Amino acid sequence: MKYSYNWLQKHIAEPLPSVQELEQKIIFHAFEVEEIETTQGDTVMEIKVLPDRAGDAFSHYGMAREISGLLGVALRPQETIERLFPEVTGELPLVIKTMLCNRYLAIKIEGVTVGESPEWLKNSLSSIGQKSINTVVDATNYVLNDLGQPTHAFDADKVVGPITVRMAEEGEMMVTLSDEEKILSATDVVIADDEGILAIAGVKGGKRAEVTSHTKNIILEIANFDAVSVRKTSRRLGLITDASKRFENTISPVLVPFAAVELARMVQNLATGHVIASHDQYQNKAVAREIIFTRADIARILGDTITEESIESVLTRYHYSYVKKDGAYYFSVPYYRADITGAHDMAEEIGRVVGYDTIATKTLPFVPVQEKNETDVKIQSIKKYLVHKGYCEVMNYSFRKKGDLYVSHAPKDKSALRTNLTDGIKESFEMNRLNAPLLGIREVKLFEVGTVFTNESESIHVALASKQGVDEYTLDEIINTYSVDTNDSSLLFAGEVFEAFRPWSSYPFIVRDVAVWLSEGDSAAQKSLHDVCVNFAREHTIMPTKLFDSFTKEGRTSYAYRFIFQSNDRTLTDDEVVRTLAPLLENIKTISGAELR
Amino acid sequence: MEQEVGTFHPLTITLESIKTIFAKQGFSVATGPELEDEWHNFDALNVSKDHPARDMQDTFWVKDRPGAVLRTHTSPVQIRYMETHQPPFAIIAPGKVFRNEATDATHEAQFHQIEGLVVGAGVTVEHLKGTLLAFFKEFFGPEAEVRLRPSFFPFVEPGFEVDVKVVKDGVEKWLEVLGAGMIHPNVFTAVGYDPKKVTGFAFGMGLDRLSKVMFEFPDIRVLYQGDLRLNQWDTK
C-alpha cells in the first residue's frame, strides 16, 4: 500500500524523522519499504504489508500507530462516537438476517450538496494513487485509507424500505458501480432493500443507489463482515477491491464507530447536511483476549540474552496494557491485533523492536546425526558417472503441450506435466547438434535427470541423447544397467572459484573453413599458418580455432582451420564475413609455398 | 582416443557446493515429491484454505485431481520429514518448485529451492543466525555478513528476510537471498510434535538465484533452455 508521509504525520503528535531515517526504522523493525517517491510537497512510501499485519497496518492510522511504537512517540487520540451524535434518534430501520455480518452501523444524513472535493482532499487521494470523484465518495475513500475501515454511501432517496443485510438468492443479479453485471449465489452476503440488491457486502457497491451530484440525502454504511465469507465472494466474482482486501484480512468490529465519527464529520464538513439518524447493530461482539507469557517463553525462541527490561521497554513503547504477576506477563491483546495468539507472536513483537542484530550468533546446540538419502546419492552418482563418460547435463521444463496430467491456468502449450524426458532432450539434442560448431566438442552427448508424471505416479528418470538416439531409464534401472558405484563419496567440486558466465549471442553464426596447401614437411610454413589462423580467430571470431583436418597428396599437405563468426547485436551477412576474412587470406598467401584450396 | 569429459549444469555445481558446506555442519539431505497434496504444501504449514496467506504463492493446481498441486516451495519436505523422524535433526531439502507467475529475467514458472530445517530442544534464533553465517562465509567468502529483517511466512513465527553482505571487487553489496524463521507451533502440532518440548528453525533459498549470483547470469531463463552453451565450467 502507498503511505503518504504528510498523512502519517497528521496522526503523530511529534515531528517525524526524515524519510530516510523513517525508512530504515520500518525496514529493520517492521515492514519492507519497496519504493519511495517524492511528489509535490510530499513523499509517498510503498510499504509491503504482509497478511499477518494487514488487519492493523493497512491504513495510515495503523501505520502511524506502528511508527509511534517504533519511535516511542505519542499518537494523536481518536475521537469517540459520543462526541459526534449523542442525541441522534431519528428513524433508520435496519434488518440483519445473517450472522456473517458482525456489525452494521448506518447513518442518515439529510440535505447534502454533493460536489467537487477541496484541494487538500484531492491531493491526499492523488498522493496514494486514487482519483477524486465527489465529496461523499472521496470521504469514504479517505476513511478507508486513513483508518482501514471500508465504508459505503447510498443515495437514501433511491433506497426503498429498510436496509437489509441478507444472503443473496441463487442467481440474483446486481449491476456494480463500474457497470458490470454480477450473478450472485446463495453463499454471498448482500445489502438489499425491498427492490433488490444494493451492494455486495464488503466487496462492491451497486449502481442503483449510487451517489451522484443530484443526491440530497444519503445513508452511510460502516460495517464489519466475516473475513472468510468476503474472501470467498470476492474470489468467485473476480472482484478484488480495496474493501474486500481489508475485510478478508480480518479487521475488528471495534473500529466501526471510530470510522463512523470520522466519515460523518467529513461528509458534513465537505457536503454540509446534518445527521438525522444513526443505527448500530453489533451482533458478533469482539472478545477481549489475554495471553500469558514469561521471559523464558520469549528466550526459548530469541535466545537467552533477552531480558525482562527489554520485554517491558517494548510493551511500554507500544502502550500495550499488561500486568506482571509472579514473573508472568498477562498481556491484553489490542483489538486491532488479531494476529497475536501466543508467546511465539510476542517473541516476534519483542525481537523485531529490540532488533535482530542484537541477537547473538551460535553454532547448533547438538551434533546432528547424518543419514544418507538414497535418492540424492543415486542422482549424484549417476550425474558423476555420465559426465565422466562424456555426457553433458541439461535441464528442461517440466511443462509440455501434452501429457497425462494438466495444470489449470497455464499457457496451452505448457499446461501438461511431462510423461518422459525423451521429448525434451530430443529437442535439446537437435538444437545443440546445429550449434555444435559453437560448442567446441567432437560429438553432442546429453543427459538429463528429472521427474516425470503419469496418471499413476511421479518418478525420477534419466535420459541419454547422442547421435545413436535417445535412451530413457528410471533412476534405479540406469544405476543397475551401468553398475554405477553409489558409494563413491568423492566430491564433484571442492572449493573452486568459478569464472563468470559469458552470455551468448542470439544471432545466427556463420562457419567458414579455410584450407591451405603447403609443401609436405615444411614445418616452418606450417607453424606460420597455425599462428596466423589462431591470432586471427582470437581477434575476429567467437571461438578459438585449431587444425581440424589435414591430409597429404602429391607432395603437398592440406591444412584446414575452422572460423566461427557471430555478432552480439545483428545478423552477419556473407559479404561482411568475406570482408573480415580477406586480410587473413592475404596473409596466408605470403607464407612460402601456400596455396588456398 | 582419450575419452572426452562432459559438463555439469551450473545448478548442479551450485547445489553440490551448498550441500558440501551444509554437510560439514552435520546436515543430512531429504527429498520429497514434486506433485504434492494440499495438506503437505499448505495446511500442515499453517496456510489454511480461506486465509489471504494462500495468495502469497501463485499455485499450479492439477486438473481433475482435487487437492493435487505442484509444490510451490520445498517446505512440504519439512512436513514429510517430521512425520517420519524424531528430533533432534538438521536437514536440507533441495528440489524443483513451481509458481504460476509471469516469467522475466528473475522469475520462472519452475525453479529450485533449498529448504533447511533444524529441530531440537533449545534451538533459537541465535542458532539460525550462526548456521546461516557459517554457510555464507564459506559460500560467498569470509567477508560475508548476515542481517535479519522482519517478514512473514505462515509456517514460522517470528519470520525473517535474510540479507547477505557480499564483497566483490572491493564493493559491498547486500543481497536478499533467503526467507527464514522459527517453526510455528501449529506446524509442530500438525506433525505430532509437542511445541512445548521442541523449537526449531527453517530457511528457504532460491538455488537459481544463488546460482545467478555465483556465475553472474544476466537472466535466469538461460537455465532451462537445454542449451549447452550454458555449461561453461569444465569438469576435473
Which three cell numbers mark B129?
543466525
| Average pLDDT of span A222-236 | 95
Burial (CB count within 10 angstroms: exposed 0-12, middle 13-18, buried 19+), residue A536: buried
Q: Is residue A166 part of a domain?
A: yes
pTM of the predicted model as reported, rounded to 2 decimal places: 0.90
Task: Write the residue in A375, A387, A458 that is nearest to B5 by C-beta.
Answer: A387
Residue A489 has pLDDT above 80, yes or no: no
| Whole-number pLDDT of residue A89 | 65
Domain, as residue range, for B213 = 10-225
Residues A555 and A27: their CA atoms lie apart, in Å, by 79
| Whole-number pLDDT of residue A88 | 62
- Closest CA in chain B for residue A409: B60
Q: Is residue B78 part of a domain?
A: yes
Q: Does B133 touch chain A (CB under 8 A)?
A: yes
Residue A551 has pLDDT above 50, yes or no: yes
**In this prediction, what percent of chain A has a pLDDT beyond 90?**
77
A574, A535: one domain: yes
A151, A136: one domain: yes
Domain, as residue range, for A388 = 374-481
| Whole-number pLDDT of residue B85 | 96
Give contacts of B134 with chain A, Cβ < 8 Å.
363
- Total structural domains within chain B: 1
The CATH code of the domain that includes A262 is: 3.50.40.10
Give contacts of B218 with chain A, Cβ < 8 Å.
501, 503
Radius of gyration, CA atoms only, chain A: 37
Q: Is residue A590 part of a domain?
A: yes
A165, A130: one domain: yes
Mean pLDDT over each residue of chain A, to the nearest integer = 92
Q: Is residue A489 part of a domain?
A: no
Q: Is residue A379 part of a domain?
A: yes
A105, A157: one domain: yes
Q: Does A502 touch chain B (CB under 8 A)?
A: yes
| Whole-number pLDDT of residue B131 | 97
| Alpha carbon separation from B229 to A506, A510, A511, A539, B235 (Å, rounded) | 11, 16, 17, 20, 15
Partner-chain contact A383 B134, CB within 8 Å: no
| Average pLDDT of span A490-505 | 72
Q: Is residue A402 part of a domain?
A: yes
| Confidence label for A498 from pLDDT (cuts 50, 70 and 90) | confident
A237, A269: one domain: yes
- A52 HSE (CA, 13 A, CB side): 20
| Whole-number pLDDT of residue A136 | 96
A63, A87: one domain: no
For residue B158, cis peptide bond before it (omega within 30 degrees of 0): yes
A216, A258: one domain: yes
Give contacts of B70 with chain A, Cβ < 8 Å.
398, 407, 417
Partner-chain contact B129 A362, CB within 8 Å: yes
| Confidence label for B203 from pLDDT (cuts 50, 70 and 90) | very high
- How many other CB atoms are found less than 10 A from the CB of residue A330? 13
| Whole-number pLDDT of residue B120 | 96
Q: Is residue A501 part of a domain?
A: no
The CATH code of the domain that includes B77 is: 3.30.930.10
Q: Is residue B234 part of a domain?
A: no
- CA A347 vs. chain centroid, Å, equals 26
Partner-chain contact A356 B149, CB within 8 Å: yes
| Confidence label for A362 from pLDDT (cuts 50, 70 and 90) | very high
Q: Is residue B20 part of a domain?
A: yes
Residues 6+ away with beta carbon under 8 Å from A283: A96, A99, A101, A102, A103
| Average pLDDT of span B219-230 | 88
Q: Is residue B180 part of a domain?
A: yes
Interface of B with A in 162-181 (CB under 8 A): none
Partner-chain contact A499 B226, CB within 8 Å: no
| Confidence label for A487 from pLDDT (cuts 50, 70 and 90) | confident
| Confidence label for A85 from pLDDT (cuts 50, 70 and 90) | low
Helices (H), A482-522: none
- Total structural domains within chain A: 5
8 A C-beta contact, residue A278 and residue A260: yes
- Closest CA in chain B for residue A426: B226
| Average pLDDT of span A155-175 | 96
8 A C-beta contact, residue A483 and residue A416: no
Residue B1 has pLDDT above 60, yes or no: no
Q: Is residue B174 part of a domain?
A: yes
CA dihedral angle for residue B71, residue B74, residue B78, residue B84, rounded to 10 degrees: 60
Task: Write the residue in A410, A444, A493 that is nearest to B17 by C-beta.
Answer: A493
A551, A538: one domain: yes
Partner-chain contact A390 B5, CB within 8 Å: yes
Residues A427-481 have pLDDT tens digits of: 999 999 988 888 877 789 999 999 999 998 999 999 999 999 999 999 999 999 9
8 A C-beta contact, residue A178 and residue A205: no
Type and span of the H or E element at A479: helix A475-481
| Domain end residue (candidates: A333, A358, A383) | A358
Q: Is residue A487 part of a domain?
A: no
Q: Does A490 touch chain B (CB under 8 A)?
A: no
| Alpha carbon separation from A500 to A201, A377, B83, B142 (Å, rounded) | 56, 28, 41, 20
Polymer length of chain B: 236
Q: Is residue A127 part of a domain?
A: yes
Which three cell numbers mark A315?
510493551
Residues A595 and A591: their CA atoms lie apart, in Å, by 9
